[in-house]
Amino acid sequence: MRKVPPFHLAIPVDDLQKARVFYTKTLHFKEGRSSDHWVDYDFFGHQLVIHLDEGEHRASTQSSIDGKNVPVPHFGVVLPWEIFESFADQLKQRDVQFEIEPYIRFKGKTGEQMTMFFYDPCGNALEFKAFKDPDQLFAS
């Protein structure tokens, strides 16, 4: 798999303390710099910043993929297969409520992958996925 530079992602949250507990205690992301209005995290080697935005009102919809209703919008990261499995097990042990439980999508087809979806306490949908064959990431 190719090495990519870290990306930066900033998301709105309507309750900074509740989001901070979730990203720090539930997901076990390492906290970096912070202020009264934002906190940044190590998001599997990338920078995720939660920003307080009490006026944020997100519209949400769903898209049917592989027979599942996928929340839109969402964000996440593609992990190595073994890390995905370990992370999914940890989330289950921490009683994360999945929107879509970890499962194999497109089984036996091009782009076969493990995926899972859940929400943070502020309504942001997160997806994590892994490809058994990383070269299938953009295969059609």
83-108 confidence digits (pLDDT tens): 999 999 999 999 999 999 999 999 99
What pLDDT, in 10s, does the model give residues 15-41? 999 999 999 999 999 999 999 999 999
- pTM of the prediction? 0.89
Element spanning 88, H or E: helix 81-93
CA 5 to chain centre: 18
Q: Where do the domains of the chain lie? A: 8-54+62-136
CATH code, 8-54+62-136:
3.10.180.10
Work out whether strand 98-105 and strand 113-119 pair parallel, antiparallel, or are unpaired: antiparallel
Token pair in block for residue 83: 């890390």
User: Could you count the other beta carbons within 10 Å of the beta carbon of residue 67?
Assistant: 6
